[in-house]
Chains A and B, each alone.
Chain A
Amino acid sequence: MTHPVSQEATADVVSPLDEAGVGAIVLDAIERKAPLAIRGAGTRAGLGRPVQAARTLSTERLTGVTLLEPSELVVSARAGTPVAEVEAALAERGQRLAFEPFDHRPLYGTSGEPTIGGLVAANASGPRRVIAGAARDALIGVRMVTGRGEIIRSGGRVMKNVTGYDLVKLAAGSHGTIGVLTEATFKTLPIPESETTLVLEGLDDAAGVAALCAAMVTPFEVTGAAYLPARGDAPSCTCLRLENFESQLNYRTAALEKTLGHRGPTNRLDVPTSRALWREIAEAAPLLGHERRMIWRISVAPTRAAELVAKLRPVLASHFYDWSGGLVWIAVEPSEDACAGLVRPAVQAARGHATLIRAPLATRAAVEVFEPQAPALARLTRAVTAAFDPEGVLNPGRMHAL
């Protein structure tokens, strides 16, 4: 059975074996004025506006970890390397990608192994982003083939580097529109000895988000801050993760409990339960189980999040908050415009921005998937994109209508 949000049909898929092969395919596309759809393993293929392309260029055969130096906190891998492979190689040396890669597979009903290239293209960060920064913050170097068919590098393997413009940041979250990523280098961090999650039950949205914010301004370095509303008989859960050396963790957990004490009783989750919980949040699992619902991902200042959600209440099928309230996931029942007519103005009034993260192809063609930009910003975005891809051969239309 086809999942309702499956990617546009791709007749012709080419998977080059090396960077030079990528370059040749892009040059050929320029020559023939035949745009390419760019993808890794296609696990995030439901993300963005539909692309009009006769051919798909996949980086999934550009594989392999090319640099792993734990004492320098750095890892490099070719774009098609499975994220899981990089994470496993790091874990073996006691390290990890601190931004906690977001896995879109459950959301889109896709299979296969998410790749490093797709991770970068979507800037796909999970719960720990709230303190550790996003994928774009950990990304310190890239190699890519631009829409001119040229191979360029930006950044490198050292974490402090201001030599030349930071094109690395442009690549992160560019959804394959400025270049085809061929290799990425990340700053890594040690995996702490242990973790726990404190859960406060039964708070309403506003009180829950306030508790998250109160925890985030303590010095205890909370590494996950999510609010899951009540479901059926289950009460709402305000979840706060702490990670550290075992001995320090005990001290910090007790201190955080004391800080939050007046807000209600707290439960401590053991390590496996805590891990499982944040894994679910890193897949937006609280919204899943209703394939046809349309899903928005909203970024907003935490202090305005609960009020925004209250305004959206009439159309909410389900929702939850991550990033201390700064990231709101909402699901709405299927409709022609995915409730954009209500969501967009409410989000704009809250000075946030919204991405229609899951909707059928036709909806994503008709409704702006990404937050519409003011004219001057849209002009700059177009000019910068054209600086890399003047002929529009890479994922044309993915981020903005042409």
Chain B
Amino acid sequence: MTGIAMPAADPRILARRDEIVAGLRALVPGEGVIVSEDERRAFETDALTAYRRMPLAVVLPSTTEQVAAVLAFCDREGVPVVPRGAGTSLAGGALPQEDAVVIGVSKMARVLDVDLASRTMRVQTGITNLGVSAAIAHEGFFYAPDPSSQLACTIAGNIAMNSGGAHCLKYGVTTNNLMGVTFVTMRGEIVEIGGDAMDAPGLDLLGVICGSEGQFGMVTEATLRILPMAEGARPILFGFETSEAAGAAVAAVLGAGIVPVAIEFMDKIAIDICEDFAHAGYPRDAGALLIVEVEGSQVELDEQLARIEMIARQHGATSSRQAKTAAEAAAIWKGRKSAFGAMGRISDYICMDGTIPTGRLPEVLHRITEICDAQGLKVANIFHAGDGNLHPLVLYDMNDPVSLAKAEEAGEEILRACVEVGGCLTGEHGVGIEKRELMTVQFTHVELAQMMRVKQAFDPNWLMNPAKVFPLEMRFPSHKAAA
């Protein structure tokens, strides 16, 4: 058994399962309510697969009104709810619990409206992240946030976790590209927040709903900022002898007034694993690698890359390779985007997600190696270097409980180190269950209590995704924090 606790299921709810299912069936017809054990199993975990919990039932509503009816019903009955997009959370954000109803948005996945001139688009939130961009690609537009799971992950999940991606150095994360939502409260009220105007009136509730990890309510529709595609984009690959040199080059590029769309970093171990998998031509003799991508016309690309190359050379780049063709560019990105998958072929791993001030990079990388060495574990470092969002992959053996415990311990120490240097526990994956107990490392009890009061303003009975984000023993501010 693994280390992260979940609250014991409420036997009073479990005892009423049939009655609750009947109530749900009255609200959502036919296959929209999933009851059989076999079918529920598909929902028992997310991308933090070491943790599994069979939900009481799964509901897949087809309309906002059904979502509202189901939430109001669960609120009245005191049944916890776990909202679900595609279940790609790496932090256990969508992990069910035995006494909770999972409400999925997968049946609401339509594009509702596209206004190219205003650069906005209205979608149902069960649409995948890539599905949004695919729907407007023929018009020369795209949706900017691009989490690695973009093929599968939904806009609902992106909003819940305020997802980022490789290109947010230039384009921002979900919250910077979200203009309005249809939001359903636990009481079942349907609330329009924001819209297709560039700023929203009143207190910025949209801003705090985005990234609330499904703890405030459910978002069934969203208005997204869409952007015209750049004329062209081209990555360049640099090899460096050391991580320190690569880190210094990143700082120098940004300091020189150049903001590339993406700067990605890999260390030696990650280079080898990705190269074995993707054959992208990564320099195997390098101690660290940077992928820098810029956008613009062909002339602009040449010029920007020449500037960047000069800076990289000044900071000790030992090799460089510009993508000459679209295929070469795709290969360079394939190695990076498949990194987690490639890693998964050779080992189980836990992926940490702390962010640090980029100036502290060399010392933090050094510390990560020390921490993992002390546990006898290997670690591969892959991260978004421009914004300091680290992704150390701590390798372990899932069949060996001791190894998992060690990996979790190392992961925890790495995150503590991130906070110590002025960073944070999670840059884009979210807290979920994974980093719940570590929240006290970054926040004071006063700060956590304030956040919980905000949750309580939205969800007074503490039923929305209740076992996430906050340390278990601190929850239920109605009893504690509000005192």
Residues of A within 8 A of B (CB): 69-74, 94, 123, 125, 129-130, 133-134, 136-137, 146, 148, 150-154, 156-170, 172-174, 177-178, 189-193, 210, 213-214, 216-219, 245, 247-248, 251, 255, 299-303, 323-324, 326-327, 351-353, 355, 370-371, 373-374, 376-377, 380-381, 383-388, 399-400
Separation in Å of the B38 CB from the closest CB of chain A?
34
Given known A70-B255, A133-B176, contact A161–B202 (CB-CB < 8 A): no
In the complex, residue of chain B having the shortest beta-carbon distance to the beta carbon of A255: B297
In the complex, residue of chain B having the shortest beta-carbon distance to the beta carbon of A355: B201
Q: Is the CB of A158 within 8 A of B205?
A: no
Is residue B428 contacting chain A, with contact meaning CB distance below 8 A? Answer: yes
- Collect the chain B residues with CB atoms within 8 Å of residue A170's CB: 203-205, 207-208, 454
Q: Which of B168, B259, B356, B454 contacts A158 (CB 8 A)?
A: B356
Is residue B422 contacting chain A, with contact meaning CB distance below 8 A? Answer: yes
Q: Is the CB of A172 within 8 A of B207?
A: yes
A326 to B179, CA, bound (A): 13
Known: A154-B447, A380-B185. 14 other contacts (CB 8 A): A160-B168, A161-B424, A161-B426, A162-B430, A163-B439, A164-B443, A165-B208, A166-B210, A170-B203, A219-B231, A245-B304, A248-B304, A373-B201, A377-B193
Q: Is the CB of B204 within 8 A of A301?
A: no
Is residue B296 contacting chain A, with contact meaning CB distance below 8 A? Answer: yes
Residue interface bits B236-259, CB-to-A below 8 A is 1, else 0: 000000000000000110111111
- Collect the chain B residues with CB atoms within 8 Å of residue A377's CB: 191-193, 202, 205
Separation in Å of the B151 CB from the closest CB of chain A?
21
In the complex, residue of chain B having the shortest beta-carbon distance to the beta carbon of A158: B355
Q: Is the CB of A384 within 8 A of B303?
A: no
* Interface set, chain B 417-463, CB cutoff 8 A to A: 422-431, 435, 439, 442-444, 446-448, 450-451, 453-458
A174 to B202, CA, bound (A): 8
Given known A133-B172, A376-B185, A380-B185, contact A387–B427 (CB-CB < 8 A): no
Task: Report the count of interface residues on B (CB-CB < 8 A).
Answer: 94
Q: Is the CB of B192 within 8 A of A374?
A: yes
A373 to B196, CA, bound (A): 16
Q: Which of A74, A154, A383 contacts B457 (CB 8 A)?
A: A383
Is residue B220 contacting chain A, with contact meaning CB distance below 8 A? Answer: no
Separation in Å of the A230 CB from the closest CB of chain B?
23
Separation in Å of the A81 CB from the closest CB of chain B?
20
Indicate the member of B203, B231, B297, B435 with the most A CB atoms within 10 Å.
Answer: B203
- Collect the chain A residues with CB atoms within 8 Å of residue B201's CB: 299, 353, 355, 370-371, 373
Q: Is the CB of A157 within 8 A of B422?
A: yes
Q: Is the CB of A216 within 8 A of B119?
A: yes
Is residue B338 contacting chain A, with contact meaning CB distance below 8 A? Answer: no
Q: Is the CB of B357 within 8 A of A123?
A: no
Q: Is the CB of B197 within 8 A of A162?
A: no
Q: Is the CB of A161 within 8 A of B355?
A: yes
Given known A162-B429, A219-B229, A301-B197, contact A380–B457 (CB-CB < 8 A): yes
Given known A164-B443, A387-B456, contact A251–B357 (CB-CB < 8 A): no
In the complex, residue of chain B having the shortest beta-carbon distance to the beta carbon of A217: B228
* Interface set, chain B 130-189, CB cutoff 8 A to A: 140-141, 161-162, 164, 168, 172-173, 175-176, 185, 189
Is residue B300 contacting chain A, with contact meaning CB distance below 8 A? Answer: yes
Separation in Å of the A20 CB from the closest CB of chain B?
14
User: Total A-B pairs in contact (CB under 8 Å)?
Assistant: 264
- Collect the chain B residues with CB atoms within 8 Å of residue A74's CB: 357
Is residue B469 contacting chain A, with contact meaning CB distance below 8 A? Answer: yes
What would be 14 A-B contacts, judged by CB atoms less than 8 Å apart?
A72-B358, A74-B357, A129-B198, A152-B444, A160-B355, A160-B428, A255-B297, A299-B198, A327-B198, A353-B201, A380-B185, A380-B205, A383-B458, A387-B457
Tell me which of B17-25, B95-103, B325-333, B384-392 binds A: B384-392
Separation in Å of the B197 CB from the closest CB of chain A?
4
Given known A71-B358, A152-B450, contact A164–B202 (CB-CB < 8 A): no
Q: Which of B117, B175, B197, B229 contacts A213 (CB 8 A)?
A: B117
Q: Is the CB of A165 within 8 A of B303?
A: no
- Collect the chain A residues with CB atoms within 8 Å of residue B230's CB: 219
Is residue B88 contacting chain A, with contact meaning CB distance below 8 A? Answer: no
Q: Is the CB of A166 within 8 A of B197?
A: no
* Interface set, chain B 329-351, CB cutoff 8 A to A: none
A400 to B203, CA, bound (A): 10
Q: Is the CB of A251 within 8 A of B297?
A: yes
Q: Which of B117, B208, B304, B388 contacts A167 (CB 8 A)?
A: B208
Given known A219-B230, A355-B201, contact A164–B451 (CB-CB < 8 A): yes
Q: Which of B141, B162, B191, B422 contacts A380 (CB 8 A)?
A: B191
Is residue B299 contacting chain A, with contact meaning CB distance below 8 A? Answer: yes
Residues of B within 8 A of A (CB): 115-120, 140-141, 161-162, 164, 168, 172-173, 175-176, 185, 189-193, 195-208, 210-212, 228-231, 251-252, 254-259, 295-297, 299-300, 303-304, 355-359, 384, 387-389, 422-431, 435, 439, 442-444, 446-448, 450-451, 453-458, 469
- Collect the chain A residues with CB atoms within 8 Å of residue B387's CB: 158-160
- Collect the chain A residues with CB atoms within 8 Å of residue B251's CB: 71-72
Q: Which of B162, B358, B454 contacts A384 (CB 8 A)?
A: B454
Q: Is the CB of A217 within 8 A of B117?
A: yes
Separation in Å of the B306 CB from the closest CB of chain A?
11
Given known A172-B207, A399-B203, contact A163–B172 (CB-CB < 8 A): no
Given known A69-B357, A302-B118, contact A164–B203 (CB-CB < 8 A): no
Q: Is the CB of A72 within 8 A of B229?
A: no
In the complex, residue of chain A having the shortest beta-carbon distance to the beta carbon of B256: A190
In the complex, residue of chain B having the shortest beta-carbon distance to the beta carbon of A166: B211
- Collect the chain B residues with CB atoms within 8 Å of residue A146's CB: 450
A326 to B210, CA, bound (A): 23
- Collect the chain B residues with CB atoms within 8 Å of residue A247's CB: 303
Q: Is the CB of A166 within 8 A of B199?
A: no
Separation in Å of the A142 CB from the closest CB of chain B?
11
Q: Which of B205, B231, B357, B454 contacts A157 (CB 8 A)?
A: B357
In the complex, residue of chain B having the shortest beta-carbon distance to the beta carbon of A170: B208
Q: Which of A158, A189, A383 contacts B357 (CB 8 A)?
A: A158
Given known A156-B424, A388-B450, contact A301–B254 (CB-CB < 8 A): no
Q: Is the CB of B442 within 8 A of A248?
A: no
Q: Is the CB of A152 within 8 A of B447?
A: yes
Given known A130-B198, A158-B423, contact A385–B118 (CB-CB < 8 A): no
Q: Is the CB of B119 within 8 A of A386?
A: no
Separation in Å of the A49 CB from the closest CB of chain B?
12
Q: Is the CB of B193 within 8 A of A69?
A: no
Separation in Å of the B293 CB from the closest CB of chain A?
15
Q: Is the CB of A381 within 8 A of B202?
A: yes
A64 to B106, CA, bound (A): 50
- Collect the chain A residues with CB atoms within 8 Å of residue B208's CB: 165-167, 169-170, 384
The 9 A-B residue pairs with the shortest CB-CB distance, nearest first, are: A169-B207, A190-B257, A383-B457, A299-B197, A71-B251, A160-B427, A371-B201, A387-B453, A213-B117
Q: Is the CB of B303 within 8 A of A245?
A: yes
- Collect the chain B residues with CB atoms within 8 Å of residue A152's CB: 444, 446-447, 450
A133 to B454, CA, bound (A): 25
Q: Is the CB of B199 within 8 A of A150?
A: no
Q: Which of A167, A352, A380 contacts B197 (CB 8 A)?
A: A352
Separation in Å of the B165 CB from the closest CB of chain A?
10
In the complex, residue of chain A having the shortest beta-carbon distance to the beta carbon of B253: A71
- Collect the chain B residues with CB atoms within 8 Å of residue A323's CB: 198
Q: Which of A69, A173, A371, A387 contacts B204 (CB 8 A)?
A: A173
- Collect the chain A residues with CB atoms within 8 Å of residue B446's CB: 150-152
